[in-house]
Each structure stands twice: as C-alpha cells, then as structure tokens.
Chain A
Amino acid sequence: MTAVDPETRIPDPLDLERLEEDRLRAAAGLAPQKKAAGEYAGFEQVGLPDRPPETERERQLFSLEEGEMLVNMGPQHPSTHGVMRLLVKVRSEVVTDLDVVLGYLHRGIEKLCENATYTTVLTYVDPMDYMSAMHNEHAPALAFEKLYGIEAPMRAQYIRALVVELNRVFSHGLMMGFLALDMGGITPLLYGFINRDEIVDMLSAISGQRMLFNFFRVGGVNFDVNDEFISRLGHWRTRALATVEDNERILTQNEIFTARTKGLGVLSAKDAISLGVSGPNLRASGVALDIRKAHPYPPYDELEFEVITQSGGDTYARYLQRVAEIKQSIHLIDQIVDQMPHGPVQAQVPGIIRPRPGRAYAAVESPRGLYSVYAISDGGPNPYRFRMRDPSFISLQVMPKLMPGHLIADTMAIMASLDPIMGGVDK
C-alpha cells in the first residue's frame, strides 16, 4: 500500500465553491489553494470514534496503520440480517479487522420474563429469533416442565417435534435464499419464500398465528392437529423435496456461487468449539454435535436419523449443511407423522404455575444451533431467573476470526452463511 501524500489534492466534487476558486487560481497561473491536513484525502484518521478506547481490544481496533480506515456497515444496512453494526477496518478493499456492535434491538426479554408468569414467558420469547419461533418456545416449555415436575403427553411431544421440524425447514430454506441474495441472486430467495409461505400457512392453521405462534404450553401444546393443517401438510409434502431441489439446482453447481463461497471464511473444528459455535455451523466444520442426538429430548430418541457433518468448514460447506438438514427434516417429518400416537395434547396444569424452588436447564437444537434455557424458580408464579442462550449471538463472535484477509464484499456472504438473526442476538 502506497502512502497517501497529504499534499496530493483530491477534490471533493460537491465542494463547488472551492472547485471554482481553484479553477480561477489555475487560470491566473497560481497553484491550487492548500487545505488543512484533515480536509485532504484523510486516509490516516478516517472513521475513528470520538472517544478513547475502553479495552485492549478496542485499542487494537482503533489503532490504524498506514492506509487503513474504519468503515461502519449499518446499523441500517440491507444485508445485516437485522439492525446491527459492523465496524470494519479495511485496507483498500481488504478487511483487516472487524468488530460487531450489538444492542440496537435489545428489549431486555430476560428481565421481562422475570416479571411474567410461566405461561406468559412463552409468549415473550417468540419474537426473539423470529425465524424459529417454535424453537424459542420449545426450550422454555421443556425447562418449565422439568421445574414443575411434569411431562407433556406423548402426542404433544410429537406435535412439538412436527412443528419444530417444519420451522427448521423454512428457516434453512430462507438461509439458502438470503445467502444467495447477499451475493446478488434474487431467485433463490423467492424459491425459499414459496416453501416458507406454505409452511407458515400450515403453522397458522394449527396455532392461529403466522409468525409469533404462541403454540407451546407448559405441559403440552395449545391445539391438536386439525384437518386444515393435515391437508396443507400433505399438499406441501408432495412437493417439498422438489422445491428444495429446484433451489439447489440454481445454487449448488452455480459457477458464480461456488467461486464466491468455496474456501471463503474457513472455520476449523478447533476454533469452532473454542468459540462456542453450534448447530449447522459447527457441523459444517466436521464436529458431529447435535443436541437432538447428544441429549435427546422426546420424541427424538424414538426417531431414526444420523448427525450430518461436512468437512470443509467454509461458506460452501455451511450452505451444503443447510441443504442436507432440510432433507433430513423432511425425513423426520415423515417419521413423526407415521408414528404419532393418539391421546391428549395437554397435561393437567393449573392456570398459574408455581413450581417448587429449583433449577432446570433445557436445550434444543434450533436452526441456528444450541438454544438453551436455564430457569430458576423461587416457588412463586414467575421465574426468579430466566436465562436464554441464543446460538446466533455466540456465533457472531467468529466474524472477527473469519473476516481478516477477505474482501469487503465477502463480509455479507460470510455473515449470511452463519445465519444470525438479530432478534435473537439482541434478546
């Protein structure tokens, strides 16, 4: 990188007055008017915040070398998957460092849940990770059942698994679309939305709502499956694989797509474990950790499936992992529908639940990874402490690890492959 000569004039095309003055000076045979150093190219100090660094890491981030500058992406950026800000340190087009700035969507859901009854907590957690609202409700429901010492009936467990797998299908389907969209392809997103809208209609038939379902209850689910749900499910199932394969046909062998994703943002298994990455991102790095197998919650101990892994650990492997998991989920849905027992869908629990004092931890495998809830009861009607571990929050930590050396245009491709949802990240 060549040093920028502060004497070099880089005119601002919008600064018409000075341009005109310089034109007159040139006509009179004079040199262009000199400006203060800050008004010139200014590559040396661009983007630094007007406060001193707080920590060692910030000091490292704010110290710019020759030719480096800090660029803010966001907080309102079309492809940051929500309201977040990336503070990117660049040298020309190459990212040398990156910091993730969060909190723009912070609603304090954990604190709100400490003032809500156990039943209403399940409505508060819906808008967290809005792409997988069913999973958001699943972990608290399991944790509260452990606290209260009750088990949901088997049919309710199967209905839970059914809606949760449907949710996973559309979440992963949209990830394929958004990954392509962040690299300039619009069609895969539309294909993803075809699948997604059918599933959302289906879930709205069973729960009554499209996105924030409020379907799970402590001790079961709100409604049994109904005729509309079943008919929509059967209708969708006949074409489910075909729509996914359509999307796959556009992307998997696509030259532009593979050129831009293979070898991009390689995450080693060791780093992934150390950084707490979970779910498809971890399995794409070759670690076979799936909570549905590792600590199976019903009915996954009765279903047949294998943990899928990839070996690459790059953006392409993370994409392939999602495609494989969609097919796996469809396979699981078939099994769930086949094996679903008859019976009630809701255990007998009082309207206001007061568990004995105690602690419970429940983890589920959400489309983004290990989503877990740690709930503490003090015997009252509200959880004393309600802690949610959101997988995309933790996964975002790998961005500073993956980005250095890549082009700034690849920032969004790598981020889309991690598939973070800001509603969950900011809680």
Chain B
Amino acid sequence: MANVRRSRTAAPGLGRRRPLTAPAKAGALVRLLLDRLGSDVHDLWTDEDAVEVQIDGARNVDVLRRLRDDPELGFFFLADAAAVDYGPGVRFEVVYHLYSDRHPAWLRVRAHVSRDDPRLPTVTELWEGAMFHEREMYDMMGIVFEGNRDLRRIYMSPNYRSFPQRKDFILPDDAADSSAAGVNPLERPETWDLRRFSETLAPGASAPADEPVAAAGAAVEAGQTDADKSRPR
C-alpha cells in the first residue's frame, strides 16, 4: 500500500485535552435528581456526558421505578445493565445506564452489592429486557437477582459451576499456576521479564525466575490457594 498517506504530525488543536468540568447542560438534571431521589443518592458525580448516582443495591427497584415514571425525569429506556467486580473483599456493583429524551446526558446508576452475599432485587418487573442482562450477570459474576423467574446460565452450560468474570477467576490457559496470578505476561509490558527471555536465548544458565512459579504451581496442585476454587473443573 504505497499510496497510503499517514499524517501523524503534531498540529494545533491535535490531541486536545477534553474539558474536565461537567457541562452545564447536566446541571438541571443533577438538581432534579437530588430533589426526586433525596436520601437514596449516596453519592453523585458528573461526567462529560453522563450523570452518575450511587445507590444502595437493595433499593434499586424503588429508585429505578421513580426514575422511569417521574414525568420530568422520564428515563424510560434501560440502555445497559452490567456488573463490575471490584475484587475479593471489596464489593460488586450493578451498573444501570438509562436513557431519557428529556435530558442531554446518560444516567448511570451504580448499585452497591455485598460481595459475600451478592443478592439484589430484580428489575425485570420494570423492564422485561433486563432479563438477559440479569442472566448474564448471574452467569458471569454469580450475582443472584431475587424475584427473577428465569435466572439460569445463559452462556455457560447448565452444569458449569464457577463465575468466569470475577476477578479471582484465573484464565486456565493463562499460566494459572504462575505467580503473575493468571495474567499472560506477554500482554502486560511491566511484567515482561527480560532477564528470563535472555536466558531462554542462552540455554544452560540458571533461571531463578522459575522457582516461585514452580512453588505456586505446587500449591495449586495441593489445593492450597484460593485461586484454585474458581477454576473450571
């Protein structure tokens, strides 16, 4: 492709940083949310095109119903519902993205869920379309939606037991036994062990980097690590 013109030169305005302040257009929405939701809003942020509220997981149906049915808010369309795992011992979050044709911003509702007992009410009574979202969250993260009448696995087979998108789930083919905790070292530049590569090129030299790896592997085989519990069997 000889005639491809690549222009990567710096120019005025190129790579302009985005404004960090929230646009004024979301201000009306923020005031309205604080007025209508009151004490249900634990925290509130504004993004450049989204307003974000944090609520309690157990109150999700009540809050979302008010957001949907209030004529001034009018968030009638559930754009997305996704779960986020903040790691063992921290929490889960179920994140709802809502659309309203009355406001020029997305609304992101973050519902905090305990990671030890991940349960929260279903919102399928508000939006039937939340069914597949909730089935996916149950399948991938193991979050139980109480009241959902079809909560079964959607991607994995029915007899599958672990929850693959949790952060403590180690990809089986990603060196599950390594000290790098399941992260493919080639895809994380800061974990590149250049000394080890050079030793591969010069065989015969000792490889000290291998020792912790072997030790971790033995621990996994003996069933001594937490990580082993989440591996598919």
**Complex: how many Å from CA A361 to CA B14?**
23
Interface residues on A, range: 35 or more
Residues of chain B within 8 A of A145, CB atoms compared: 18
Residues of B19-63 at the interface with A, using a CB-CB cut-off of 8 Å, are 20, 47-50, 52
Contact pick for A426, options B84, B140, B155, CB 8 Å: B155
Q: 1/0 per residue A253-278: CB within 8 Å of B? A: 00000000000000000010111111
Contact pick for A226, options B3, B11, B97, CB 8 Å: B3
> Residue on A with the closest CB to B19?
A149
Residues of chain A within 8 A of B165, CB atoms compared: 108, 110-111
Query: In the assembled complex, how far is the CB of residue B98 from the closest CB belonging to chain A, in whole angstroms?
Result: 11
A323 within 8 A of partner (CB): no
Of B113-121, B182-190, B200-208, B215-223, the stretch lying at the interface with chain A is: B182-190
Contact pick for B129, options A276, A363, A427, CB 8 Å: A276
- Judge whether A103 and B156 touch: CB under 8 Å: yes
- Judge whether B1 and A295 touch: CB under 8 Å: no
Residues of chain B within 8 A of A227, CB atoms compared: 3
Q: Knowing A349-B15, A361-B97, say if A389 contacts B80 (CB, 8 Å).
A: yes
> Residue on B with the closest CB to A426?
B155
Residues of chain B within 8 A of A393, CB atoms compared: 132
Residues of chain A within 8 A of B84, CB atoms compared: 376, 385, 387
A115 within 8 A of partner (CB): yes
- Judge whether A57 and B132 touch: CB under 8 Å: no
Of A48-56, A174-182, A329-337, the stretch lying at the interface with chain B is: A48-56
Query: In the assembled complex, how far is the CB of residue A352 from the closest CB belonging to chain B, in whole angstroms?
Result: 6
Q: 1/0 per residue A55-82: CB within 8 Å of B? A: 1111000000000000000000000000
Q: 1/0 per residue A347-367: CB within 8 Å of B? A: 111001000000111010000
B198 within 8 A of partner (CB): no
> Residue on A with the closest CB to B104?
A295
Residues of chain A within 8 A of B13, CB atoms compared: 153
**Complex: how many Å from CA A398 to CA B39?**
36
**Complex: how many Å from CA A295 to CA B98?**
12
A125 within 8 A of partner (CB): no
**Complex: how many Å from CA A228 to CA B1?**
10
- Judge whether B52 and A102 touch: CB under 8 Å: no
B89 within 8 A of partner (CB): no
> Residue on A with the closest CB to B1?
A208
Query: In the assembled complex, how far is the CB of residue A297 from the closest CB belonging to chain B, in whole angstroms?
Result: 9
Counting residue pairs across A and B whose Cβ atoms lie within 8 Å, the total is 171
Q: Knowing A344-B11, A374-B95, A387-B82, say if A289 contacts B101 (CB, 8 Å).
A: yes
Q: Knowing A57-B149, A103-B154, A275-B129, say if A370 contacts B79 (CB, 8 Å).
A: yes
Residues of chain A within 8 A of B155, CB atoms compared: 102-103, 106, 426-427
- Judge whether A273 and B77 touch: CB under 8 Å: yes
Query: In the assembled complex, how far is the CB of residue B54 from the closest CB belonging to chain A, in whole angstroms?
Result: 12
How many interface residues does B have (CB within 8 Å)? 66
Contact pick for A397, options B108, B132, B164, B190, CB 8 Å: B132
**Complex: how many Å from CA A117 to CA B191?**
13
Q: Knowing A103-B154, A146-B48, A150-B18, say if A273 contacts B76 (CB, 8 Å).
A: yes
Q: Knowing A343-B11, A361-B50, say if A116 contacts B187 (CB, 8 Å).
A: yes
A198 within 8 A of partner (CB): no
- Judge whether A387 and B80 touch: CB under 8 Å: yes
Query: In the assembled complex, how far is the CB of residue B232 from the closest CB belonging to chain A, in whole angstroms?
Result: 11
B6 within 8 A of partner (CB): yes
A414 within 8 A of partner (CB): no
Residues of chain A within 8 A of B233, CB atoms compared: none
- Judge whether A359 and B6 touch: CB under 8 Å: no
Q: Knowing A150-B18, A223-B4, say if A381 contacts B82 (CB, 8 Å).
A: no
Query: In the assembled complex, how far is the CB of residue B52 from the closest CB belonging to chain A, in whole angstroms?
Result: 7
**Complex: how many Å from CA A277 to CA B104?**
21
**Complex: how many Å from CA A386 to CA B101?**
26
Q: 1/0 per residue B173-201: CB within 8 Å of A? A: 01000000001100111100000000000
**Complex: how many Å from CA A393 to CA B154?**
11
Contact pick for A115, options B10, B78, B158, B174, CB 8 Å: B174
> Residue on A with the closest CB to B18?
A149
Query: In the assembled complex, how far is the CB of residue B177 from the closest CB belonging to chain A, in whole angstroms?
Result: 16
- Judge whether B15 and A347 touch: CB under 8 Å: yes
Query: In the assembled complex, how far is the CB of residue A196 from the closest CB belonging to chain B, in whole angstroms?
Result: 22
Contact pick for B152, options A54, A223, A363, A370, CB 8 Å: A54
Q: Knowing A102-B155, A363-B79, A394-B132, say if A223 contacts B15 (CB, 8 Å).
A: no
B67 within 8 A of partner (CB): no
A294 within 8 A of partner (CB): yes
Residues of chain B within 8 A of A115, CB atoms compared: 171, 174, 183-184, 187-188
Q: Knowing A116-B187, A352-B189, A381-B189, say if A56 contacts B129 (CB, 8 Å).
A: no
Residues of chain B within 8 A of A96, CB atoms compared: none
Residues of chain A within 8 A of B64, CB atoms compared: none
Q: 1/0 per residue A371-397: CB within 8 Å of B? A: 010101000011001010100011011
> Residue on B with the closest CB to A59?
B149
Query: In the assembled complex, how far is the CB of residue B126 from the closest CB belonging to chain A, in whole angstroms?
Result: 8
Which 6 pairs of residues, A with B, have the shortest CB-CB distance? Answer: A276-B129, A347-B15, A57-B150, A103-B155, A106-B155, A275-B129
Q: What are 7 A-B contacts with C-beta separation under 8 Å? A: A103-B156, A146-B48, A149-B17, A271-B128, A348-B15, A361-B49, A389-B80
Chain A interfacial positions (CB closer than 8 Å to B): 51, 54-58, 102-103, 106, 108, 110-111, 115-117, 120, 145-146, 149-151, 153, 208, 219, 223-224, 226-228, 271, 273-278, 289, 294-295, 343-349, 352, 359-361, 363, 370, 372, 374, 376, 381-382, 385, 387, 389, 393-394, 396-397, 426-427
Chain B interfacial positions (CB closer than 8 Å to A): 1, 3-11, 13-18, 20, 47-50, 52, 76-80, 82, 84-85, 95, 97, 99, 101, 104, 106, 108, 127-133, 140, 149-158, 164-165, 169, 171, 174, 183-184, 187-190
